[in-house]
């Protein structure tokens, strides 16, 4: 959609760059691999996602949650300012103006953005998954739909549903890794994204999963999450072959960097949450080099099937 307002592109690009540097060192590093135009657009989308997520949780770039935060009021503000962004009306909020400016350059369907906002609504409602399907639906809204939007920013045709499915898979892989890594942090904030059915299967009372007596069983769930993340990562890697070379380089590097988080949590076993799992700078640079080499090689020809993987709603319809 072509915006009708006047945006300060230089200021918004600077704001968005600062946002990604503060919010995600890993993604900030991988984003440097995009060509300049794509990189700046990716930053703009990230800035809106980061700000909306922070508004929902009462945080500042993922920091401590503010006490007494009104999540429903924040959600109403997100929706209202996003309406303004789609109408091409400057909002006075740089994160939402970043989205509005982006929409003057890239046609992102409103349904995709609404699906992302639906993820914020789940958190605002203190929603918790009962089943594995619930977990994957949540991962879609908070990360998979972001992957779809990012693919559109990278130039994928909105009609190329198959490639958008693979982009969604990468977002889901990232979120599964985050959930595995952040079990302890989420519990401290009175949140839990482990399906109730998994807790019941392993005989862990709901709300007690961080008790030391259940640590070995919790490690089993971390293994399940890591395995799932690996399956979605593999699907996304195959789909990345449709991206332009520099975008493919950035996406493959990010996939490896975030994939290492899930692999590290799994490898630690019972000690997965003794301290926060992360990826070293050397390992990140290693993934950048490996991704670059893979781009220079002939793209893989053996198709990685999506059979058995969760499939996103079509046309941005919430699901």
Q: How confident is the model at residue 3 (pLDDT cuts 50, 70, 90)?
A: very low
Report pLDDT for 318: 44
Q: Which pLDDT score, from 0 to 100, does residue 62 have?
A: 56
What is the reported pLDDT for 206? 83
**Amino acid 4: pLDDT:** 47
The answer to whether 148 touches 164, Cβ cutoff 8 Å, is yes
The pLDDT, as a whole number, for residue 57 is: 87
pLDDT at 58 (0 to 100): 83
Mean pLDDT of 127-136: 97
Averaged pLDDT, 22-37:
93
Mean pLDDT of 171-193: 94
Q: Cα(294)–Cα(216) distance, rounded to whole angstroms?
A: 37
Confidence of residue 146 (pLDDT cuts 50, 70, 90): very high
Tens of pLDDT, residue by residue over 44-82, are 999 999 999 999 988 675 555 666 678 899 999 999 999
pLDDT for 61 equals 59
Q: What is the mean pLDDT of the chain?
A: 92
Residue 1 has a pLDDT of 39
Query: What is the model's pLDDT at position 313?
Result: 86
Q: Is the dihedral of CA 211, 217, 221, 222 positive or negative?
A: positive
Query: How much is the pLDDT for 65?
Result: 60
pLDDT, one tens digit per residue, over 223-275 is 999 999 999 999 999 999 999 999 999 999 999 999 999 999 999 999 999 99
Asked if the model's pLDDT at residue 181 lies above 70, the reply is: yes
Instruction: Tell me the pTM.
Output: 0.92
Shortest CA distance to 145 belongs to which of 175, 123, 125? 175
pLDDT digits (tens, 9 = 90+) for 262-311: 999 999 999 999 999 988 999 999 999 999 999 988 766 678 999 999 99
Q: Which residue has the higher pLDDT, 300 or 206?
A: 206
Confidence grade of residue 95 (pLDDT, cut at 50, 70, 90): very high
> Quick one: pLDDT at residue 297?
85
Domains annotated on the chain, with CATH: 8-125 (1.10.600.10), 128-298 (1.10.600.10)
């Amino acid at each position: 959609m072509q915006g009708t307002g006047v945006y300060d592109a230089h200021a918004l690009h600077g704001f968005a760059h600062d946002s990604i540097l503060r919010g995600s060192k890993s993604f900030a590093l991988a984003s440097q691999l995009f060509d300049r135009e794509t990189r700046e657009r990716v930053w703009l989308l990230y800035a809106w996602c980061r700000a909306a997520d922070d508004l929902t949780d009462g945080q500042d770039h993922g920091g401590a949650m503010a006490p007494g935060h009104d999540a429903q009021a924040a959600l109403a503000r997100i929706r209202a300012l996003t309406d303004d962004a789609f109408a091409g009306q400057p909002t006075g909020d740089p994160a939402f103006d970043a989205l509005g400016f982006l929409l003057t350059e890239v046609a992102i369907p409103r349904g995709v953005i609404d699906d992302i906002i639906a993820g914020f609504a789940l958190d605002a409602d203190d929603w918790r998954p009962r089943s594995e399907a619930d977990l994957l639906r949540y991962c879609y809204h908070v990360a998979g739909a972001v992957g779809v939007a990012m693919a559109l920013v990278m130039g994928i045709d909105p009609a190329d549903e198959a490639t958008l499915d693979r982009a969604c898979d990468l977002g889901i892989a990232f979120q599964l890794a985050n959930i595995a890594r952040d079990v302890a942090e989420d519990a401290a904030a009175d949140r839990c994204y482990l399906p109730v059915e998994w807790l019941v299967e392993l005989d862990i009372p709901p709300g007690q999963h961080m008790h030391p007596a259940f640590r070995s069983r919790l490690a089993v769930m971390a293994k399940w999450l890591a395995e799932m993340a690996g399956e979605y990562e593999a699907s996304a890697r195959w789909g990345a072959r449709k991206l332009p070379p520099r975008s493919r380089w950035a996406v493959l590097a990010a996939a490896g960097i975030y994939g290492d988080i899930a692999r590290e949590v799994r490898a630690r076993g019972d000690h997965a949450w003794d301290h926060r799992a992360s990826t070293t700078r050397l390992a990140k640079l290693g993934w950048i080099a490996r991704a670059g080499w893979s781009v220079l090689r002939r793209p893989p020809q053996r198709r990685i099937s999506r059979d058995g993987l969760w499939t996103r709603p079509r046309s941005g319809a919430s699901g």
